[in-house]
């Protein structure tokens, strides 16, 4: 009986040994000797490989509290360039906006520009771009509506873009990153590329020309045409088809500031553009409206006239202190000429705006209807 018990114990030990030891022996080589295998190309992990330099958030700095508000960008990925938009930002309470741009490679390019939502006094905005390889800013200049700046990356790493203005205007901020197709080399052989979360438009298979493709905060696809150092948002065909109606005798040539704004507002894009619905270069218009705000700026030596509109206040600035001559509640009339912004292009504005864009604050008597 004792021998049988010993035999049973030995058999049990052998079974345990056989069932355990092979697993240990087989497991060790796979962990220590076999090379790490890449995951199949159709796996989720290998589709997340495309670098996106424009994916950083916009950070809005409150003038009074210095608190930061985060806003995710609206992104468009393209064959040679990617773009990002902030959406509309009202600078009444915002002093500055910052965005980090992770430059991937030397030789790539970064562009910055901004679209003003003003029809008269469009104001100015300071754009700066710091770089990781120098204490000197790569970009530091004061620009106007649609005016863009660019920099060729000297060293990969974080570049910090800022848009700063003291004007209480609304702006849409944009920047583009030219990667010349280098980022697509990070995709796998099946063309799988990383698509970050957020409002994104994909144009990887679209042939690009001199037009910049972007997407706004509402998800609308927008396109910019480059003319000199300016980026002009292309209006929709529906907006353009409303132009040249001046031949209709019933069409008024007297507008409020709000109505003048809507002449350049494309409802289909929910954006201000630079082609009027009903006026062309050479037309004269009269703007009559009620003053809702009046302020003298000693730094500019100019008086800001504020007018009501559906999208926030519209402004006109004129030389000198005029606060004793005019008051809030006064009705005032101006005569403006529609002028071309660039010869050979349809883009227009009022002659007042073209003068102020050149840095000149005009005399009010040049535009008053007497």
Cβ-based neighbours of 225, under 8 Å, separated by 6 or more: 210, 211, 212, 231, 232, 234
Residues 312, 117: contact at Cβ < 8 Å?
Answer: yes
The pair of three-digit structure tokens given for residue 92, joined into one six-digit string = 């009444």
Question: Which has the higher per-residue pLDDT, 20 or 335?
Answer: 335
- pTM equals 0.74
Q: What are phi and psi of 176, to 5 degrees?
A: -125, 150
Instruction: Render pLDDT for 201-254 as a digit per residue (tens, 0 to 9).
Output: 444 434 445 677 787 777 778 888 889 889 899 998 888 887 544 444 344 578
Residues 158, 132: contact at Cβ < 8 Å?
Answer: yes
Q: Topology of domain 58-233, per CATH?
A: Jelly Rolls (2.60.120)
Residues 303, 317: contact at Cβ < 8 Å?
Answer: yes
Confidence label for 193 from pLDDT (cuts 50, 70 and 90): low
Provide the mean pLDDT of the chain.
Answer: 80
Domain ranges of the chain: 58-233, 237-366
44-60 burial code (b ≥16 CB/10 A, e <16) = eebbeebbbbbbbbbeb
pLDDT of residue 66: 93
Look at residue 14 and tell me whether its pLDDT is greater than 70.
Answer: no
Confidence label for 72 from pLDDT (cuts 50, 70 and 90): very high
pLDDT of residue 107: 93
Question: Which has the higher per-residue pLDDT, 8 or 139?
Answer: 139
Question: Which has the higher per-residue pLDDT, 285 or 134?
Answer: 285
Cα gap 266→223, rounded to integer Å: 13
* Mean pLDDT computed over 168-172: 88
Confidence label for 123 from pLDDT (cuts 50, 70 and 90): confident
pLDDT of residue 121: 87
Largest CA-CA distance found in the chain, in angstroms, rounded = 129
Range of weakest confidence among 16-20, 62-66, 143-147, 330-334:
16-20
Q: How many other CB atoms sit within 10 Å of the CB of residue 179? A: 25
The pair of three-digit structure tokens given for residue 308, joined into one six-digit string = 């009501």
Quick one: residue 198, left, alpha or beta (phi over 0 = left, psi -120 to 50 = alpha)? left
Cα gap 355→350, rounded to integer Å: 9
pLDDT of residue 184: 52
Nearest by Cα to 114 from 167, 179, 154: 167
Confidence label for 99 from pLDDT (cuts 50, 70 and 90): very high
How many helices, marked H, and strands, marked E, lie in the chain?
5, 24
- By percentage, how much of the chain surpasses pLDDT 70? 76
Cα gap 96→163, rounded to integer Å: 6
pLDDT of residue 91: 92
Cα gap 223→234, rounded to integer Å: 6
Look at residue 32 and tell me whether its pLDDT is greater than 80.
Answer: no
331-364 burial code (b ≥16 CB/10 A, e <16) = ebebbbbbbebeeeebbbbbbbbebbbeeebbeb
Residues 212, 81: contact at Cβ < 8 Å?
Answer: yes
Confidence label for 50 from pLDDT (cuts 50, 70 and 90): low
């Amino acid at each position: 009986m004792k021998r049988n018990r010993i035999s049973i114990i030995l058999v049990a030990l052998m079974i345990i040994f056989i069932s355990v030891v092979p697993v240990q022996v087989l497991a060790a080589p796979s962990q220590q000797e076999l090379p790490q295998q890449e995951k199949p190309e159709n796996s989720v992990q290998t589709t997340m490989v495309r670098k996106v330099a424009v994916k950083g958030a916009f950070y809005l700095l409150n003038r009074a509290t210095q608190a930061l508000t985060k806003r995710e960008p609206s992104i468009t990925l393209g064959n040679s360039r990617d773009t990002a938009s902030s959406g509309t930002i009202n600078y009444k309470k915002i002093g500055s906006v910052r965005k980090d741009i992770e430059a991937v490679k030397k030789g790539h390019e970064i562009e910055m520009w901004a679209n003003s939502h003003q029809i008269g006094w469009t104001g100015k905005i300071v754009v700066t771009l710091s770089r990781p390889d120098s204490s000197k800013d790569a970009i530091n200049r004061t620009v106007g509506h649609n005016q863009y700046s660019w920099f060729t990356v000297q060293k990969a790493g974080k570049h910090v873009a800022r848009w700063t203005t003291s004007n209480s205007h609304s702006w849409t901020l944009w920047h583009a990153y030219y990667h010349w197709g280098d980022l697509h080399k990070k995709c796998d052989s099946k063309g799988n590329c990383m698509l970050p979360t957020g409002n994104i438009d994909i144009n990887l298979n679209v042939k690009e020309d001199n037009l910049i493709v972007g997407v706004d905060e509402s998800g609308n696809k927008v396109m910019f045409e480059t003319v000199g150092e300016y980026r002009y948002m292309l209006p929709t065909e529906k907006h353009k088809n409303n132009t040249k109606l001046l031949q209709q005798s019933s069409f008024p040539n007297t507008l409020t500031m709000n109505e003048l704004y809507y002449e350049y507002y494309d409802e289909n894009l929910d954006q201000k553009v630079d082609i009027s619905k009903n006026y062309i270069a050479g037309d004269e218009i009269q703007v009559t409206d009620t003053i809702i705000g009046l302020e003298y700026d000693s730094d500019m030596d100019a008086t800001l006239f504020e007018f009501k509109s559906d999208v926030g206040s519209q402004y006109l600035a004129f030389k000198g202190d005029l606060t004793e001559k005019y008051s809030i509640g006064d009705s005032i009339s101006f005569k403006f000429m529609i002028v071309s912004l660039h010869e050979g292009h349809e883009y227009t504005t009022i002659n007042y705006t073209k003068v102020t864009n050149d840095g000149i604050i005009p005399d009010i008597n040049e535009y008053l209807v007497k």
